[in-house]
Amino acid sequence: MQENTTNVNNKPTLNFIEEIVETDIQNSKNGSRVHTRFPPEPNGYLHIGHAKSICLNFGLAKKYNGKCNLRFDDTNPTKEDVEYVDSIREDVKWLGFNWDGEYYASDYFEQLYEWAIQLIKIGKAYVCDLTQEQMSAYRGTPTKPGTESPYRSRSIDENIDLFTRMRNGEFPDGSRVLRAKVDMSSPIMHMRDPILYRIIHTDHHRTGNKWCIYPMYDYAHGQSDSIEGITHSICTLEFEVHRPLYDWFIKTLEIHAPQQIEFARLNISYTLMSKRKLLELVNEKYVSGWDDPRMPTICGIRRRGYTPESLRNFAELIGVAKRDNVIDIALLEHCIREDLNKKAMRVMTVLNPLKVVIDNYPDTTEEMDAINNPEDETAGSRKVPFSKVIYIERDDFMEEPSKKYFRLSPGNEVRLRYAYFIKCESFVKDENGEITEVHCSYDPASRGGNSPDGRKVKGTIHWVSAQHAVDIEVRLFERLFNAYDPENYPEGGSYKDNLNPDSLKVINNCKAEPYLKNVAVLSSYQFERLGYFCVDQDSKDGKMVFNRTVSLKDSWAKIEKKEEK
């Protein structure tokens, strides 16, 4: 974990939420207790924006010896499903967090109902028969005050009667709602008699057909927080304008008052974060599923090969504040490279094979010692078979090299990693001018990779022995969107116009050293000089599939780019 930055007194700096929490602790607010919650609606898969919130809420609880609940905000049965509940539980766990209590807003339906009755009894809620269109017209606009509903002055008895019958299923969907009686002329739209309950004759994934009226978010969320004894209710900025209503319910009901605090949601360059649109990408098959490795979902990122540690570190690095932000995708990539550099075993694979024949090498096989991870001594070493015919990367040979090219070219000598120095003597082209084979000579004295005469070579390239190679499939991913902000598209267009048509490239028949013949799903490797790769769940016995998590930093690519100019 990265160190926090420190201030002049060498104390770690706090984000604005930690500052609030520490002040509250000092003032013995809530008995100096800290209790947060992560409250997803089970209507989709979690994405990396949620990961920020998860790290924040669970992190706060951990830092201040408090608790953090997992609470499903399941107040809309038409959109929610157990499939999502399960995936959310899995994702939070995978990220490395254990919740103190697992709750559902639906656990509180009875209590919420009783409080609604209470509100009616004190004249703070009423049943309204306005149609949706009418209600919208009565509500006014942000700049124009609303008008009071003609049903606003119903008697308490009539309201109780109607609301009870709403619950009993006597009315069809949409025919009536229960509204709070607040202030139709408030400049805050949410205070213009917001809806508390609506009629939905749909089975709920937990309560079945017990209810046909369901509470709205504003009515359910704060009270759920209150019931659970939440002290700091942290949410994203778009709920800022809801806070007066959040406080109004708590105050009117005279129950425990959590403090709602809003922070700016995460945005990442070239990445789409809207749940609704991600669902669209899945439904319309632009991606293979929620866990497509190009998706910013937690399960997608996991399948891509990101580690929980790298994500937690990312959440730490991006900080928490209230201003709109766009995090450079390069920071995310930095986090996974940093983590995998320390952990991932090195291995040699050739993605785009070019056959190399070492003419003066005997027809035998020998085993070369290769270090498993230069960053981790305890990782040990392994044997890699070497023979007369090997594959190298097509990019590692150039017929007419530029002066800064250090790899194999006619007459040039390079090192085969952990093996020998080889020198290119000749090469063969087919009728299309494509190079099909390179012939080299090797220096037997350079075994292991160093020449006793102290001769230096500039380039070291990776290789795989042809007769020992195992075929693997490799999936290379590029960003899903070409646009810095995928949501920014010309008029009449769609965010889908920003989709990158080349975001997935599948390469078959890549050559790997034998070690990779059968490795565990989700395990990560560094393919030397190429990048970090992770075993995909589509792997079958004898046919491994690897996802490229992220490439290695490539300073050669930069030089190449410069030379093009």
Catalytic, 18? Answer no
Q: Does 195 bind RNA (CB under 7 A)?
A: yes
37 binds RNA (CB under 7 A): no
Residue type, 301: I
Residues 495-554 that bind RNA (CB under 7 A): 526, 528-529, 552-554
From 33, 62, 89, 265, active-site residue? 265
Asked if residue 141 binds RNA (CB under 7 A), the reply is: yes
C-beta closer to RNA: residue 161 or 328: 328
Nearer CB in complex with RNA: 101/543: 101
Burial 361-376 (b: 16+ CB within 10 A, else e): beeeeeebebbbbeee
What is the secondary structure of 489-532 as a DSSP string?
--TT--GGGGB-TTSEEEEEEEEE-GGGGS--TT-EEEETTTEE
| Helical spans, DSSP H, in 34-81 | 48-63
Closest to RNA by CB, 98 vs 555, is 555
The correct pick among 153, 155, 175, 523 for binding RNA (CB under 7 A) is: 175
Of 101, 169, 174, 444, which lies in the binding site for RNA, with binding defined by CB under 7 A?
174
CA distances to 92, 207, 279, 294 from 89, rounded to whole Å, are: 5, 19, 19, 21
Q: Which of 279, 317, 379, 435 binds RNA (CB under 7 A)?
A: 317
Among 29, 32, 41, 383, which residue interacts with RNA (rule: CB under 7 A)? 41
Residue 121, interface with RNA (CB under 7 A)? no
Q: Using CB under 7 A, which residues numbered 5 to 24 contact RNA?
A: 5-9, 11-16, 19
Q: Residue 541: how many CB atoms within 10 A of its CB? A: 7
Residue 461 touches RNA, criterion: CB under 7 A = yes
Contact between 177 and 197 (Cβ < 8 Å): yes
Is residue 154 annotated as part of the catalytic site, yes or no? no
Q: With respect to RNA, which residue has the nearer C-beta, 153 or 175?
A: 175
Residue of the chain from 341, 352, 441, 539 that contacts RNA (CB under 7 A): 341
Contact residue for RNA among 328, 359, 471, 502 (CB under 7 A)? 328
Q: Which residues contact 21 (CB under 8 A, 6 or more apart)?
A: 34, 60, 64, 232
Rounded to whole angstroms, the Cα distance separating 525 from 340 reads 8
Q: Does 148 bind RNA (CB under 7 A)?
A: no
Angle of CA points 162, 164, 167, to nearest 5°: 110
Q: Which one of residues 81, 338, 437, 443 is an interface residue with RNA (CB under 7 A)?
A: 338
Q: Is 71 in the site for RNA (CB under 7 A)?
A: no
361-380 binders of RNA (CB under 7 A): 373-375
Token pair listed for 506: 């599948």
Beta strands 470-477; 544-551: pairing state: parallel
Residue 120 makes CB contacts below 8 A (sequence gap 6+) with 126, 156, 159, 160, 163, 178
Q: Does 237 bind RNA (CB under 7 A)?
A: yes
- Please tell me whether residue 388 binds RNA under the rule CB under 7 A: no
Given candidates 321, 428, 445, 521, which one binds RNA under the rule CB under 7 A?
321
Secondary structure (H, E, C), 201-218: CCCECCCECCCCEEECHH
CB of 309 to RNA, least distance (A): 15
Residue 35 in contact with RNA, rule: CB under 7 A:
no
**In whole angstroms, how close is the CB of 378 to RNA at the nearest point?**
15
Q: Does 199 bind RNA (CB under 7 A)?
A: yes
* Active-site choice (22, 29, 33, 41): 41
Map the footprint of RNA across residues 241-300, applying CB under 7 A: 241-242, 264
Q: What is the closest distance, in whole angstroms, from the C-beta atom of residue 430 to RNA in the complex?
A: 25
**Among 109, 214, 361, 442, which residue sits at the site for RNA (rule: CB under 7 A)?**
214
Measure the CA–CA gap between 226 and 159, rounded to whole angstroms. Answer: 26
What phi, psi does 267 have (nearest 5°)? -125, 145
Which stretch in 233-241, 285-293, 351-359, 422-430 sits in contact with RNA by CB under 7 A? 233-241
CB nearer to RNA: pick between 543 and 558: 558
Span 411-450, contacts to RNA by CB under 7 A: 415, 417-418, 448-450
Closest CA to 425 of 406, 407, 412, 444: 412
Inter-residue contact 498 to 483 (CB < 8 Å): yes
Q: For residues 44 and 66, which CB has a smaller minimum distance to RNA in the complex?
A: 44
Asked if 460 touches RNA (CB under 7 A), the answer is yes
CB atoms within 10 A of CB 403: 6
Q: How far apart are CA 431 and CA 340, in angstroms?
A: 43
Instruction: Out of 190, 302, 312, 382, point to the residue binding RNA (CB under 7 A).
Output: 190
Q: Indicate if 265 belongs to the active site.
A: yes
Q: Of 285 and 323, which CB lies nearer to RNA in the complex structure?
A: 323
d(CA 137, CA 139): 5
* Sole residue written with tokens 């319910």: 249
Alpha carbons 151 and 128: distance in angstroms, whole number:
5
Separation of alpha carbons 546 and 306, rounded Å: 13
Phi, psi of 392 (to 5 degrees): -125, 170
Q: Kindly tell me which residue out of 322, 429, 455, 505 binds RNA, with binding defined by CB under 7 A.
A: 322
8 Å CB contact between 395 and 352: yes
List the catalytic residues: 41, 265, 275
